[in-house]
Amino acid sequence: MLDDYEFSRFLMLAVDAWRYGPRDDRQQVDLQRFLDEGLRTAARRSGLDDSRWQTQDAGDGRLALLPDSGSEPVLVDSFVRELDTWLARHNHDRMPGARLRLRIAVHNGPAIPAPLGYGGTAVVHVCRLRDSRPVRAALDAAPDANLVLAVSSRVFDDVIRQRHTSLSVNDFTMVEIADAAKDFGATAWVRVPGAPATRDEEVVVGLRFPVPPQDFRAFVEQVLIPSFRAVEIALPADTSFAGDSPVVRLASASPQVVLGVWIDELDGLLKAVAPDVRMVVGVCATADHARELARSETAARVLAGARGGRVVVVVPGHLHETISANPGRLVHPESYGQAGTSSWLRVPGHANPPRPADRERPADRERPVAAQPGSVNAYGDHGTAIGSGTFENFVVGTFHRHDGANR
């Protein structure tokens, strides 16, 4: 029997006010009144009917669900422009600490009415974007700005990239959001009206060592630094490999070079110089996210279960899409497997990522299969069958010994 839930798809607007907590009681009441007035005025001036919005208020913020009827271009373009204009007039001549400044996020997806508001992963997603550290940092970095807008990848690809607004892709900056405490990771596109979009072209590599080298200094000098030098990736002068999860910023390297020739060189040097070391490598655009990717427990478990594997590479979903669309030399996007909802991983030397080491196998794979005379199994014994309980992969054919004897 189906649950009695009312399924609907909405365009979602999440808004939160800057520095609400430090204000006194009267100031907080005034801020809520001004916030409501500003949102209603911007909606009316941009042609949106806010009487049809379903809202969930939280003092210093509002979640609004708009009918999914083609309002996205208006919301991310005209509505935000009108709201910025209203805020500029409202904040004129006010003391800096008394200004009304907003963080805004836009996403779309299903939402389900619930006793305390609305439920659903899309609702969580838009609120996480609004409250994320990169979005807060963007507003803090532009003290004269009235608001910051963050749109999800879905909205950006469908509305901005397809030119359904007067905005350009160059008006936005891509940010990676990683919140380990709330098990959330996503890509968002951020715009601060009146402030130039920043372009962060660097690639950041995060490292973690489930099986560390005995002499880390020697490992850096004999493996890490030579691996970058061999593929002509210049390391910044202040590069440090210190700490349990070091990150390396590569301002002059492309993701294709890092995920292709550098990973291949690193894997080769590990095999030749440090065969006992095991590494997790996270590759993305920000230090925090690279470190989170490298700390992936799923990646560590996959590496532990990879026969002969020395490296596991973890990338966010949007980067996997990038290399799938535009692979470089020795880049193998088809050998990545999805790990969770927002990352992909690969073990060089394996066509597909191995199964995590601690994953339980089906009960029938636990039973040994008796050998019969006439065949050879992996241990050199004779039998007629190779049991599926003993092997993950096997080769059917003739084995040739170095002395010429067939087995």
- 382 vs 229, which has greater pLDDT? 229
Instruction: Output the six-digit token pair for 7.
Output: 């399924």
Q: Which residue has the higher pLDDT, 312 or 236?
A: 312
* Mean pLDDT, rounded, for 368-394: 35
Average the pLDDT over each of 63-77, 212-226, 250-264, 367-381 and give the range with the smallest value: 367-381
The residue assigned the tokens 């008394």 is 98
CA gyration radius, the chain = 27
In a domain, 3, yes or no: no
Task: Kindly state the average pLDDT of the residues 281-301.
Answer: 90
* Pairing verdict, β 102-114 and 117-119: antiparallel
Q: Can you give the residue range of the structural domain that contains 169?
A: 8-191
Tell me 186's DSSP state.
E
- Would residue 134 count as lying in a domain? yes
At 151-208, the pLDDT tens digits run 999 999 999 988 899 888 888 988 888 888 888 888 899 999 877 665 555 789 999 9
Residue 388 falls inside a structural domain: yes
For residue 72, the domain's CATH number is 3.30.70.1230
356 in a structural domain: no
Question: What is the residue-wise DSSP string for 228-293?
Answer: HHHTTPPPPTT----SSS-EEEETT--HHHIIIIIHHHHHHHHHHH-TT-EEEEEEESSHHHHHHH
Same domain, yes or no: 187 and 220:
no
pLDDT value of residue 360: 42
Give the residues across from 382 on adjacent strands: 376
| Same-domain pairing of 43 and 181 | yes
Cβ atoms within 10 Å, residue 34: 16
Q: Both 30 and 161 in a single domain? A: yes
Are 88 and 41 in contact, with CB atoms under 8 Å apart?
A: no
26: number of CA atoms within 13 Å, CB side?
0
Domain match, 119 and 47 both: yes
The answer on 373 and 287 residing in a single domain is no
**What amino acid occupies position 62?**
R
Q: Give the burial class of 154: count Cβ atoms within 10 A of its Cβ; 0-12 exposed, 13-18 middle, 19 or more buried.
A: middle
Strand partners, 204: 249, 284
In whole angstroms, give the CA distance from residue 109 to residue 271.
47
Given a cut of 90, whether residue 70 has pLDDT beyond it is no
In the predicted structure, residue 35 carries a pLDDT above the cut 90 = yes
Q: Which residue has the higher pLDDT, 84 or 403?
A: 84
- 89 located within any domain: yes
The pLDDT score that the predictor gives to residue 288 is 84
Please answer whether residues 109 and 120 qualify as being in contact, where contact means their C-beta atoms are separated by less than 8 angstroms.
yes
List the single range of 52-61, 340-349, 396-405 with lowest mean pLDDT. 396-405
Predicted local distance difference test score (pLDDT) of residue 149: 96
State how beta strands 147-152 and 102-114 pair.
parallel
Residues 214 and 291 in one domain: yes
- Tell me how many domains the chain contains: 3
Residue 156 to residue 167: CA distance in whole angstroms = 11
Amino acid at position 235, single letter = L
31 and 159 within one domain: yes
pLDDT at 398 over 50: no
Between residues 327 and 147, the one the model is more confident about = 147
Residues 322, 385 share a domain: no
Of residues 404 and 305, more confidence is placed in: 305
Residue showing tokens 């919005």: 53
Residues 96 and 235 in one domain: no
Range of weakest confidence among 183-187, 311-315, 382-386: 382-386
Residue 297 is part of a domain; what is its CATH number? Answer: 3.30.70.600
Quick check: 366 pLDDT over 60? Answer: no
**Are 183 and 82 found together in one domain?**
yes
219 located within any domain: yes
pLDDT of residue 358: 62
What average pLDDT does range 100-104 have in this prediction? 95
